[in-house]
Amino acid sequence: MNRRIAILSSSLIALATCASLLPAAAASNDDNRVVQIGTYDSLTLPNYDGLAPINSVWNGQTLGLGTFDHLDGELVLVGGVMYRVSTDGTPQKIDGSQSTPFFEAINFHPDASGPVPPGTPCATLVNAVNELAKTNSGVVAVRVRGTFTDLVTRSVPAQATPYKPLSEVVAKQTLFPLGARKAVLVGFRTGPDFAGVGAPGLHLHGVTADRTAGGHVVSCIAGPDVQLSIQRAAGVNIS
């Protein structure tokens, strides 16, 4: 418990330090801040116990991701609608009453958008995000939508104590090779100045346009109509 508190405290100190790097106008806009339960550092201790119900911080935010108590499935928040993707790969709508060890969301109002060149691997999308944001620091909300080829998502089964490291859990993930599908991918690009608060780099979850499949995005390739939209967050409120 003391170790968890120390990590959360370190994250909050980092946030206070990073606030000075953000534009003053953006920093005054509470609607442009990420709301969050837990931190990525606390999740990877590992500690997969739910810390609070999702709706204790979720108040109409429209874009986000996370997981559930005991790491039981992937959370995808798209257009204000929240889904849980378990190991059957099917998104199920949820109401936010579920407990979570890690959740982040924002009211998504993109401040920059642009096309993604066909054939771009999703592993390199972080470069396009940084170009649009004109920085590799801070926290940037991301939405990528259109037609993808070789789209692969995943989910993981619920974990029991004593918890295994996240790397071992992911090694036993259930993969969903979805092929060519229209989909919307959402998430956050976390810069090095927010290390430990969110997953490092670009972290995306997604659902297909028909809402029949989804999960944590493992890989994909942009098709002919993919559009990238981003929003630079003014900061992060950790609960």
**Domain spans in the chain, listed from the N-terminal domain onward:** 2-106, 112-159+172-233
- Please provide the average confidence, as pLDDT, over all residues in the chain: 90
Domain spanning 112-159+172-233 has what CATH number? 3.30.1330.80
With 90 as the cut, is the pLDDT of residue 19 above it? no
Does position 74 have pLDDT exceeding 80, yes or no?
yes
Instruction: Lowest mean pLDDT of 10-14, 21-25, 32-36, 197-201, name the range.
Output: 21-25
Rg of the chain taking only CA atoms, in angstroms = 17
Indicate if 112-159+172-233 has the same CATH topology as 2-106.
yes
Prediction pTM value: 0.89
Instruction: Specify whether the CB–CB gap between 192 and 159 falls below 8 A.
Output: no
Of 1 and 32, the structure prediction assigns the larger pLDDT to 32
pLDDT digits (tens, 9 = 90+) for 20-65: 233 333 333 578 999 999 999 999 999 999 999 999 999 999 999 9
Neighbours of 173 (CB within 10 A): 17
Q: Is 217 in a helix, a strand, or coil?
A: strand
The answer to whether 148 and 180 are in contact (CB under 8 A) is yes
CATH classification number, 2-106, choose in 3.30.499.10, 3.30.420.40, 3.40.50.970, 3.30.1330.80? 3.30.1330.80
pLDDT of residue 48: 98
pLDDT at 3: 37
pLDDT for 1 equals 36
Task: Specify the pLDDT at position 32.
Answer: 96
- Mean local confidence (pLDDT), 189-217: 97
What number is the average pLDDT over the span 125-135? 98
Over residues 137-181, the pLDDT tens digits come to: 999 999 999 999 999 999 999 999 999 999 999 999 999 999 999
Q: For residue 119, count CB atoms less than 10 angstroms from its CB and return exposed for 0-12, middle for 13-18, buried for 19 or more.
A: exposed
Length of the chain: 239
Provide the pLDDT for residue 220: 98
